[in-house]
């Protein structure tokens, strides 16, 4: 299993294959279970449907091997483990994996592509800790947990067990999120608003410039920016972002006047241009932070959809799989540890060896995966001012 990895390009290709099947009407909706829309390019048919109507027929014609081995007969060592639920839409799944593919990741283990779907592997998973899933996970550097709109992956016993195993093995665990729709369009509109406000401010102050107005405008801008840095990304509203952008635009406009009309005091103007650039970039980036934060909130809700907080309530497609996993957890007394590992992932949205140490010392880390590009740019601007 550790040599059944699939490179990123295979997922790109597989998405194109699915899209071809949808466009040519070769996929049939399953009444009452998966009544997908063939024109939909966001969710798509469930993995169950794709497995039955695409993966199994194609791989059967090639000796019933896995999809990954069909494309790479010598096998590829996996270094990214993907945990997901087969009720999800295949397009939703692929887009999230591609969008969150680890920078140094080479080959991913994904059960639908890396296991031989036409063969029975039930004898190989009687001992979950010695199953192909466990071996592939131990060989990987990190795990990618992929939420979906149907149900929490942690309500599925295999996903809960894989999360626990990755956490106990101190693997880096990343919660995948979907690409933000129209991200750059929203950022561009925010930048346009800043430019318009800056232009109006410049036109107003070009004939009435006062040093006091310069100081007051930047003081207001800095106060609003500081308040912004203390707000969680998921709590930021469009109104707050526009307030920040307009304050920044006002300060930038009057600063441009200052560069044209020398101030009456000895204010150093050499650092104004780079400082102003960083502040503008930070204020525009705040809109991207807002959208990223909202998407993280959506993914977080997906992970909680139907999750009771107890692995004992998790289900499996095959009752014997659930019995094997729960039996192993009960014998080892690890049920509480599984619940703890999943709760940490729900709270933090990410896990790594260093974060596990931090959580052990400081307690639960809320939204540790959330970060702000705007805060980083504001910090650079502050460093620039202090270095002059």
Average the pLDDT over 225-254 and give the result.
Answer: 84
What value does the mean pLDDT of the chain take?
Answer: 89
Assess whether pLDDT exceeds 70 at residue 234.
no
Query: Distance between CA 178 and CA 61 in Å, rounded?
Result: 34
Reported confidence tier of residue 213, pLDDT bands at 50, 70, 90 = confident
DSSP 43-103: S-SBHHHHIIIIIHHHHHTTTS--HHHHH-TT-B---EEEE--TTSBHHHHHHHHHHT--T
Whole-angstrom distance, CA of residue 86 vs CA of residue 111: 10
Other Cβ atoms closer than 10 A to 77: 14
CA separation for the pair 94, 292 (Å, rounded): 19
CB contact set of 130 (below 8 Å; sequence gap of 6+): none
User: 237 vs 118, which has greater pLDDT?
Assistant: 118
Encode pLDDT of 28-39 as tens digits.
999 888 999 999
pLDDT at 292 over 80: yes
Task: Tell me the percentage of the chain whose pLDDT exceeds 70.
Answer: 95
Q: List the beta bridge partners of residue 175.
A: 145
Q: What is the DSSP string of 222-257?
A: HHHHHHHHTS-GGG--HHHHHHHHHHHHHHHHHHHH
CB atoms within 10 A of CB 369: 18
Please give the pLDDT value at position 363: 77
| Per-residue model confidence (pLDDT) at position 275 | 84
Instruction: Order across the sheet with 80-83: list the strands.
Output: 6-7, 107-109, 80-83, 142-145, 172-175, 350-351
Confidence of residue 167 (pLDDT cuts 50, 70, 90): very high
Kindly report whether the global pTM for this prediction surpasses the value 0.85.
Answer: yes
pLDDT, residue 160, reads 95
pLDDT band at 72 (very low <50, low <70, confident <90, very high): very high
How many CB atoms within 10 Å of residue 240? Answer: 16
Higher pLDDT, 88 or 381: 88
259-273 as b/e, with b when 16 or more CB fall inside 10 Å? eeeeeeeeeeeeebe
How far is the C-alpha of 280 from the C-alpha of 283, rounded, in Å?
Answer: 5
Average pLDDT over residues 67-77: 93
65, exposed or middle or buried, with CB in 10 Å at 0-12, 13-18, 19+?
middle
- Report yes or no: 286 and 245 within 8 Å, Cβ to Cβ: yes
Work out the average pLDDT over 163-190: 94
pLDDT at 233: 65
Mean pLDDT score, 192-208: 91
- Determine the Cα–Cα distance for residues 82 and 206; give it in Å rounded to an integer: 58
- Report whether 11 contacts 76 (CB < 8 A): no
How many Å apart are CA 51 and CA 45, to the nearest integer?
Answer: 10
| Residue 265 in this model has a pLDDT that exceeds 60 | no
- The tokens describing 319, both together, are 């009752």
Is residue 263 scored above 60 in pLDDT? no
């Amino acid at each position: 299993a550790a040599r059944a990895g699939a490179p990123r390009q295979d997922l790109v290709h597989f998405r194109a294959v699915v899209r071809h099947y949808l466009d040519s009407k070769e996929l049939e909706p399953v009444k009452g279970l998966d009544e997908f829309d063939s024109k939909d390019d966001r969710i798509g048919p469930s993995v169950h449907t794709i497995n039955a109507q695409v993966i199994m027929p194609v791989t059967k014609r090639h000796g019933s091997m896995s999809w990954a081995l069909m494309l790479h007969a010598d096998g590829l060592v996996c270094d990214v483990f993907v945990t997901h639920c087969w009720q999800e839409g295949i397009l939703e799944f692929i887009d999230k994996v591609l969008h969150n593919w680890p920078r140094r990741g080479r080959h991913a283990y994904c059960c639908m592509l890396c296991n031989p779907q036409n063969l029975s592997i039930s004898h190989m998973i009687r001992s979950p800790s010695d199953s192909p899933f466990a071996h592939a996970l131990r060989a990987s550097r990190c795990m990618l947990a992929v939420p979906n709109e149907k149900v929490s992956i942690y309500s599925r016993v295999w996903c809960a067990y894989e999360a626990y195993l990755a956490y106990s093995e101190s693997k880096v665990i990343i919660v995948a999120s979907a690409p933000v729709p129209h991200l750059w369009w929203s950022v561009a509109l925010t930048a346009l608003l800043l430019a318009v406000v800056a232009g109006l401010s410049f036109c107003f102050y070009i004939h009435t410039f006062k040093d006091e107005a310069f100081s007051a405008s930047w003081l207001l801008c800095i106060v609003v920016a500081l308040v912004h840095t203390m707000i969680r990304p998921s709590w930021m509203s469009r109104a707050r972002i526009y307030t920040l952008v307009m304050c920044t635009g006002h300060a930038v406009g009057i600063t441009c006047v200052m560069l044209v009309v020398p101030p009456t005091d000895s204010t150093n103007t050499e650092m104004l241009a780079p400082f102003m650039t960083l502040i503008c970039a930070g204020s525009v980036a705040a809109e991207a932070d807002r959208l990223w934060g909202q998407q993280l909130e959506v993914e977080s809700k997906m992970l909680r959809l139907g999750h009771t907080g107890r692995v004992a309530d998790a289900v499996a497609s095959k009752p014997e799989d659930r019995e094997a996993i729960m039996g192993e957890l009960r014998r080892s007394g690890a049920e509480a540890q599984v619940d703890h590992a999943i709760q940490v992932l729900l709270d933090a949205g990410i896990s790594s060896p260093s974060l596990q140490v931090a959580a052990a010392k400081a307690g639960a880390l809320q939204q540790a995966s959330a970060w702000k590009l705007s805060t980083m740019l504001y910090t650079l601007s502050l460093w620039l001012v202090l270095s002059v």
